[in-house]
Amino acid sequence: MSLDIVIRGGTIIDGTGKPGYIADLGIKADKIVSIGSVTEQADREIDATGKIVAPGFVDPHTHYDAQLSWDQQVTPSCWHGVTTTVIGNCGVGIAPCRQQDRPLAVTDLVNVEAIPENVLNAGIDWRWETFPEFMAATTSAGTAINIGFLVPLSPLRTFVMGEAASDRAANGAEIDTIAGLLDDAMKAGAIGFSSSQQPNHIGHHGKPLASRLTSLEEFARYADVLKNASRGAIEIAVTQKLAHLADNEFDLLEMLLDRSGRPVSWLTLLDLNGAPGAAFASLDKSAPLVEKGCYAQTVIRPFLADADLHNPFLFATLPGWAPVFNQTAEKQAQIFADSAFRKQFKEDMAGPGAMVGDWNLYEIQNSDHPELKPLIGKTIAEIGELWGSDGCDTLLDIAIKDQVKTRFTVAVANSDDARLQQIICDERVRIGLADGGAHVDMLGEAGYPTYLLGYWVRERQVMSMERAIQRLTTEPAELFGISDRGRLEQGLNADVVVFDPQTVGSDKRPHLINDLPEQGVRMVAEARGIEQVIVNGTAIMIDGNMTDALPGRAV
């Protein structure tokens, strides 16, 4: 039998956690057909001596829903060896969506996922209304990697309820309709649904994101859809205070697990700066749910957010900031100058609701204003001392002076390597939370697979290469019921990555590039050491260079 591709002499790490071994791997069409000593010749032979041959990585948490309209390669995830990614997380997305509701969907993405409005308006092609139509439009256009489609509850509820979805729970008739649409999406190949209950997820017009108004009655019905389908998973952002799992949130997770009989993934699990131990307390609290298939998601790098106040996502948990969203810079400056707003801001920052309440963790990153340039690199606390003002006034005065253009770096979480190491090695945690496609000028976590392999495995040696690859492949695949990928096994789909263990990695801090529609900017981290990436038997990367192939499928 003549093969299409043979990868020779590499160390096979199959994704199951078993020890690696040197062997050849043969691919015919879209399948792995042989692993061992492959004697057949192939149209393309890859010498993988000294390299690792692994299953393509599976990213369980991205927001490429909109980006797929203008970027079929799904960058930067594909650069880092990701061959399957799950979109539609956190209850926010662009389908289903009627024409008249498109501005609502766009505003949700602006506020929750920090994607600029002009980028979305220029980039989304809107070739669908229903969720099955969105899936068909995305796959027919072609993608470099495989896509798992979660159905986000916010656009689903808005599709049935209109703007009322951000005002109230659904009534009985509406629940029936929403559940029917979810069932249609599952029959079309969706892999579950997602929601968010997080108070910092602000939707259109400063209202709550529609999924936050989902009632327990609704959740139970939607969980029934997955139970009846006997497949799928639920992803939900539940932590009202980041990393703190409240009693009512635990109860919701347990109900979703019991009612659906399907896995549940929850977030956000972070080691908050200034609140050490909160993440571990939440893990201990959630431990009884793990045996039922409930896992927390976390990131594996220091969580540093780059932001300005024009999109005030970092203060979305504070009720006084709702009027700031989706305003012009001039209107925002007026709000920031208001004494009543400042008074409320100070009270809120002194309370438990602030995402990051320590002004020593806010640092000026960039400003074009001549009076502010000398302050680049200083914290808000340091500047406040210079100006004789507290942190709230200092931050707002800077924003007014520079028409809300000044950018800050905020150390949100995971600054302590020792505690972060404990989290990423904890069996109750699933690695992911990359948010690829979202928070485009704030975060750039999509490079986490290569960072895990380079920093945590090679440099820090906190886990074996076999365990790390299992974390990147079979664990997320099993969580979402993706059974034909995530392992190197004869008969499975040929999603394969070949990398150099001596050089694999990515930068600790991403950098800005301007390749979005309308010359929009985003943060990305380049990959090192990824040499070959094969999706469904077709190379999308050869010797470190991307090809034009689009062999991805819906999973």
Give the pLDDT band (50/70/90) at residue 365.
confident
Report pLDDT digits (tens) over 475-494: 999 999 999 999 999 999 99
Give the pLDDT band (50/70/90) at residue 241.
low
Residue 7 tokens, joined? 């990868």
Structural domains in the chain, sorted by start = 3-55+497-546 (2.30.40.10), 57-302+414-482 (3.20.20.140), 306-412 (no CATH)
Say how far apart CA 31 and CA 203 lie, in whole Å. 43
DSSP-derived 3-state class of residue 353? coil
Full-model pTM: 0.91
Share of the chain above pLDDT 70, in %: 99
Report pLDDT digits (tens) over 248-307: 999 999 999 999 999 999 998 888 776 777 888 899 999 999 999 999 999 998 887 777
Say how far apart CA 253 and CA 302 lie, in whole Å. 27
- What would the mean pLDDT of 361-365 be, rounded to a whole number? 88
Cis before 449? omega within 30: no
Which pLDDT belongs to residue 308? 83
**Planar angle of CA 173, 175, 177, nearest 5 degrees:** 70
Which pLDDT belongs to residue 486? 97
Cis before 96? omega within 30: yes
Say how far apart CA 504 and CA 76 lie, in whole Å. 15
Q: CB–CB of 532/539 below 8 Å?
A: yes
Phi, psi angles (nearest 5°) of residue 82: -75, 125
Q: Which residues of 269-289 are buried (b: 16+ CB within 10 A; e: fewer)?
A: bbbbbebeebbbebbeebeeb
Contacting residues for 225 by C-beta, under 8 A, at least 6 apart = 179, 182, 183, 186, 193
Phi, psi angles (nearest 5°) of residue 336: -65, -25
Query: Residue 458: what residue type?
Result: R
- What would the mean pLDDT of 97-125 be, rounded to a whole number? 94
In sequence order, what E strands does 324-427 have? 362-366, 407-413
Share of the chain above pLDDT 90, in %: 77
Residue 34 tokens, joined? 């042989």
Residue 315 burial (10 A CB sphere; 0-12, 13-18, 19+): buried
Based on DSSP, count helices (H) and strands (E) in the chain, helices before strands: 16, 25
| Euclidean distance between the first and the last CA atom of the chain, given in angstroms as a whole number | 28
Say how far apart CA 66 and CA 420 lie, in whole Å. 31
Residue 408 tokens, joined? 């800050």
Q: What Rg, from alpha-carbon coordinates, does the chain have?
A: 23
- What would the mean pLDDT of 332-354 be, rounded to a whole number? 89
Pick the more confident residue, 100 or 325. Answer: 100
Residue 2 tokens, joined? 């003549």
Report pLDDT digits (tens) over 134-179: 999 999 999 999 999 999 999 999 999 999 999 999 999 999 999 9
* Nearest Cα residue to 52 out of 458, 461, 481, 549: 458
Which range among 136-150, 389-403, 490-504 shows the weakest confidence by mean pLDDT?
A: 389-403
Report pLDDT digits (tens) over 371-383: 899 999 899 999 9
Say how far apart CA 312 and CA 504 lie, in whole Å. 35
- What would the mean pLDDT of 463-480 be, rounded to a whole number? 97
Residue 254 tokens, joined? 């347990």
Mean per-residue pLDDT over the chain, rounded: 93
Say how far apart CA 531 and CA 499 lie, in whole Å. 5
Say how far apart CA 294 and CA 289 lie, in whole Å. 5
Torsion angle (degrees, nearest 10) of CA 113, 116, 122, 123: -30
Which pLDDT belongs to residue 94? 97
Question: For residue 99, how many other CB atoms are within 10 A of its CB?
Answer: 8
Which pLDDT belongs to residue 9? 98
Which pLDDT belongs to residue 204? 82
Report pLDDT digits (tens) over 1-55: 699 999 999 999 999 999 999 999 999 999 999 999 999 999 999 999 999 999 9
Say how far apart CA 514 and CA 125 lie, in whole Å. 20
* Nearest Cα residue to 64 out of 183, 152, 178: 152
Count of CA atoms in the C-beta half-sphere (13 A) of 300: 28
State the DSSP string of 455-501: IIIIIT--S-HHHHHHHHTHHHHHHTT-TTSSS--TTSB--EEEE-T
Is pLDDT above 90 for 202?
no
Question: For residue 503, how many other CB atoms are within 10 A of its CB?
Answer: 13
Say how far apart CA 501 and CA 455 lie, in whole Å. 11
Which pLDDT belongs to residue 240? 66
The Cα-based distances of 443 to 8, 108, 220, 231, 307 in angstroms read 38, 18, 34, 32, 9
The Cα-based distances of 429 to 190, 263, 377, 411 in angstroms read 24, 13, 34, 22
DSSP-derived 3-state class of residue 273? coil
Report pLDDT digits (tens) over 411-441: 878 888 999 999 999 999 999 888 999 988 8
Which pLDDT belongs to residue 512? 87
Q: Is the dihedral of CA 75, 441, 298, 197 positive or negative?
A: negative
